Structure 1
């Protein structure tokens, strides 16, 4: 089989390729030489990559493999093909409820919390340094507090002493207390409110740090080029300059919105009445931590991973259009 014209030209201009046997082997040899020259850097990166593979990449690959098996920890896994996935989408009605709740939860809280994180960071960044530090701490504190759910449990208590019921009864909106945390009509809405309150976490701090590190000369150049107001400055200068932080914040917010479990469990219990607060992660915990059906739990985890990956790819494409 003859070489292409480009390959012949490379061999003609680079005599070393004659000895190596063609352009492909020449590129391989060049890559090997570069790796040899940079071996100190690879050695420094090796501990991170080893830990990343052991504790992140390998568990993901192992979960993908186990999702095609019947594995209960006590017995060796047995291959069953696509049966776990077929059961998920055809026979498991609770999973379909959890999937619907999770998607609805992510569609509502994901964008809202992401936009809220950025705009609050943008507004707080305009304040004097001391005031900015205090307000940043106040907004960030709920995400690192211990028993944050106690406040909301008291607020939405089902008796007349709950703050929400007491307020509504005092002003005549209702005549008797509402069982907020037991009525399926209100559960998911309350979980969304609590999650939004807790969402000002890592992404919020990343936006603050990105705004603090912006090059002010870009804003001056924009003013010279015709930027007329703060909204144009935000769209054409600030957002394009913060694309790495925007991407990081999007990943964090997508992960937190799809992986919601603790909020639902602490607020409405596990399992929740009529599975109104059931999510994919609580379903995963049910089969993985309680029933020990690890093959089925791995299938649930794989589906969740695919949904998160697809959402991140969509967000990446949307963020590339920022500032255009």
Structure 2
């Protein structure tokens, strides 16, 4: 058995050699950090003293003593519940709508829709100007001019509006990797299937979409779902740039910003690692549920 494995390794040594750089980086920057986070989650570690094992204390503290973590957890779940499905569906339907354009027009349309994802951080000042708390803010000026409000509203400082605004901006930036995967996947669907579908009784584009396009794009759909889950649960920059760090009464706090608070400001790396582990398993659980749902509907 061992000799057989050695012969197989020797037979495909060029392939393994080409895979080696990726596998090394994957192990160093993905697998190893996850394992270290799980280990450090059971310790007190401040980056000065050696890690000290404290068992489940960090996790007990998370759910019983850290009220801000509970707020961040609720915000993150709500954020993911709203932005994840909407962004996923929006990414697919935009890709589907531009799929039949000519190659040049499709490339232009793809660039236009993908630009917000690329330049998202660069246009945060524009969003701050739109939601500026004085009468010079675009939204306040518009609403005051139309008579809907009598005085400026501090949109990004009022806890009632912060989360809704962050979701709106995140949706504007949502056509990312999933969108590109769907654009590529739609181009790989065998055109002869559509001709066969017409002969089998498919009468409109929505039947064509459900019975031919979606089943033919299983890898891209699963990949898009995984990427969308990761993006939805790892929101941080939009909250920090628009709502502040921390935001008013932690209205825009997410699990990632809470991890950054304890990891890069307070240097409680053991506690931050425990939060990262909770977020990791939350992503894994959500990914399993979404994958089963997609498989259940035949996708």
Structure-1-length-normalised TM-score: 0.88
Q: How does 1:262-301 map to 2 (within 5 A)?
A: 262-301=237-276
Cα distance change, pair 129–42 in 1 and its aligned pair in 2 (3 A): closer
CA distance in structure 2 between the partners assigned to 1:37 and 1:210 by the alignment = 33
Answer yes or no: is 1:125 the counterpart of 2:125. Answer: no
Structure 1, unaligned stretches of length 5 or more? 1-26
CA distance in structure 1 between the partners assigned to 2:50 and 2:130 by the alignment = 48
Answer yes or no: is 1:62 the counterpart of 2:43. Answer: no
Structure-2 residue corresponding to 1:114: 88
- Aligned to 1:73, the other structure's residue is in SS state coil
* 1:84–1:295 contact (8 Å) kept in structure 2: yes
What's the CA shift for 1:297?
Answer: 0.5
**Equivalent residue pairs, number:** 298
Q: 2:236 aligns with which of 232, 255, 261?
A: 261
In the TM superposition, structure 1's runs of 4+ consecutive aligned residues that sit over 6 Å from their partners are none
Structure with the larger RCO, 1 or 2 (CA within 8 Å, 6+ apart): 2
What's the CA shift for 1:322?
Answer: 4.2
- Which range is displaced more, 314-323 or 296-305? 314-323
Deviation per residue, 1:24-71 (Å, 9 max, x gap): xxx666555434433332233222212211111011101100000000
What's the CA shift for 1:250?
Answer: 1.0
Deviation per residue, 1:230-283 (Å, 9 max, x gap): 111111110111111111111111111100000000001000010000000000
CA distance in structure 1 between the partners assigned to 2:53 and 2:166 by the alignment = 38
Structure-2 residue corresponding to 1:152: 127
Deviation per residue, 1:181-233 (Å, 9 max, x gap): 00000000000000000011111111111112221011111112221211111
Structure-2 residue corresponding to 1:18: none
CA distance in structure 1 between the partners assigned to 2:298 and 2:38 by the alignment = 38
Higher-Rg member (1/2): 1
